[in-house]
Structure 1
């Protein structure tokens, strides 16, 4: 594991994995503020990596049909319907939305159509609003429904809830506990600093699953082997963009050199704060966090827990060396005690 005083810095674990002249560390920056929940990344991942389907079981509680990262979902787009009030802060305070308008009303829609404009205002599900028609009805047009930046303060909030969407993926941790516990070497660090599972070597022991602080790794029921995102190791080795980032229509998923992505993310965060989105924050970008920083990090619009992410992830094998050291000292002490006891009996 690369430490703070490493020649390569704290964000490049490849040299510690034995690579003498590794290329720059590659990774993902996922900007959730521009994710539209299209799930193109999920489909592209499955198509390129030949990941099986999930059974097409609708969850019944959300538009999200996959539910989470699994052995058969290496990318997962979460749909989070969250109440908002005033400036857009999440709240569950009773009555917080009392008196707030809930978007273009049916009466406004009826008035526009009745006026003979021939345009639909967008109150009909699936039909985009017409700006001119809304203006004629005295309704402020802010783009597609719920398209304005979540959290931005506007004169007349269009709805009492907002969608938070996030394309989740393996974090490719700097200090990866899954690597520490794998007994077969199935999990390995690539020259790009990413973490990959070799399915032909995995014996299905499952040690990596509880070791992951993010709950990313999963086993397939039919063979018991572990599977997760490879950051398209086969593609980036040929200079190609990972399938999910290539398919993303809004560039919510951005791929590149990790250091450059971190600079880009900091700039994006600054711009959002200037625009009044005070809730925006970066997650997984800090090399001093409990996993040494992530190779796949995120810009979030609320607390990590809202997205199902641990607020303070810690590599689960952090204390492993100290534990072995203490165990060794205890063994030596026991051996010394036995020798002294045996010598005392002989005398």
Structure 2
């Protein structure tokens, strides 16, 4: 059984714990992978707003994905996972969740993702009984409606991954320069002008998110668009997402919305839907960026049971201190004994 980080560090509300008085609500991301279409608009928006270097045209040889992982030059990464459709899912997800006519009035197909016209723009995935998966690769392959037979033997899983902005962030524990800091919104940011390139944060991250650029060795990762948050704006990736798979807002509200979404999917015949990183009692105290997944975390390249990698530091320092005292006592004893 994994240790509860709250039992090691005490209950934590990140921003007040970092010293912010009258901190605003903790903000974060809820990424609903069930409506991700793999367009990579989030990746492009992130790069454009934050000045992140491009990745080039390397398609990696094994995937339609051209970024492959979260790196110093990819703060958002859309994973493309092709897999056989799970047993019991012979019908397409569109068929499981209803035909387009069930959603009421919709926008033209070529105008973007189909959704109810009068849906709440903040919560489109919970609006009505419409086909929540319309447009998802593998649910409605190219050619549907043109006489081409629909494929039902495989599916695409798309996931826009990002820094998790952990409640108990090990990267903060090990940074020797203060380059990494907790913001008033509960997020974790790297100040590249203070980073000395030591790399401690890279090995400390339980998700393998942080990376160094080869040209200067400094650490880089998602800032959750800290500059935009301070101006009351939505992070660039969430602003650009056409299906609103990436949702931004107060973390408590996002968790409620996510739980309702999972319940809806279960009711509609998608039992594998689950949340990842939402639980405040998990090994990192919950994430500021969490996900709705359609398969096991490992399928998406996520650790099944992440833990705070610095959880044993207090015990280690205590033991080191006791060992130092013992050595000092032994040295004094040897000196006194030798002089007598």
Query: Could you state the TM-score of these two structures normalised by the residue count of structure 1?
Result: 0.78
Q: Which residue of 2 aligns with 1:223?
A: 216
**Counterpart pick for 1:261 among 248, 251, 254:** 254
User: What SS does structure 1 have at the residue aligned with 2:227?
Assistant: helix
Q: State the Cα distance separating 1:221 from its structure 2 match.
A: 1.1
Does residue 190 of the first structure (1) align with residue 183 of the second (2)?
A: yes
Task: Identify if the C-alpha distance between structure 1 residues 101 and 233 changes in structure 2 by more than 3 Å, giving closer, same or farther.
Answer: closer
- CA deviations over 1:170-201 (Å, ceiling 9, x no partner): 00011111111111111111010100011111
Q: Which residue of 1 aligns with 2:27?
A: 26
Does residue 82 of the first structure (1) align with residue 83 of the second (2)?
A: yes
Equivalent positions of 1:109-124 (< 5 A) are none
Contact 2:8 / 2:311 at 8 angstroms: preserved in 1?
no
Equivalent positions of 1:4-19 (< 5 A) are 10=12, 12-19=13-20
- CA deviations over 1:189-238 (Å, ceiling 9, x no partner): 10101000111111111111111110101111111111100000000111
| Unpaired segments ≥5 residues, structure 1 | 89-99, 103-141, 149-155
**Counterpart pick for 1:146 among 138, 145, 167:** 138
Q: State the Cα distance separating 1:85 from its structure 2 match.
A: 4.3
Q: State the Cα distance separating 1:277 from its structure 2 match.
A: 1.0
Equivalent positions of 1:191-206 (< 5 A) are 191-206=184-199
Q: State the Cα distance separating 1:338 from its structure 2 match.
A: 2.5
Does residue 312 of the first structure (1) align with residue 312 of the second (2)?
A: no
Task: Identify if the C-alpha distance between structure 1 residues 143 and 34 changes in structure 2 by more than 3 Å, giving closer, same or farther.
Answer: closer
Instruction: State the structure with more CA Rg.
Output: 1
Q: State the Cα distance separating 1:101 from its structure 2 match.
A: 9.6
Q: Which residue of 2 aligns with 1:337?
A: 330
2-side partners of 1:5 and 1:313: how far apart?
15
| Count of equivalent residues | 287
Moved more, 291-300 or 51-60: 51-60
Moved more, 183-192 or 79-88: 79-88
- CA deviations over 1:295-339 (Å, ceiling 9, x no partner): 000010000000000011111111111100110011112222222
Task: Identify if the C-alpha distance between structure 1 residues 247 and 312 changes in structure 2 by more than 3 Å, giving closer, same or farther.
Answer: same
Task: Identify if the C-alpha distance between structure 1 residues 5 and 64 changes in structure 2 by more than 3 Å, giving closer, same or farther.
Answer: closer
Task: Identify if the C-alpha distance between structure 1 residues 316 and 234 changes in structure 2 by more than 3 Å, giving closer, same or farther.
Answer: same
Q: Which residue of 1 aligns with 2:120?
A: none
Equivalent positions of 1:58-73 (< 5 A) are 58-73=59-74
1-side partners of 2:134 and 2:244: how far apart?
19
Q: Which residue of 1 aligns with 2:291?
A: 298
2-side partners of 1:191 and 1:284: how far apart?
21
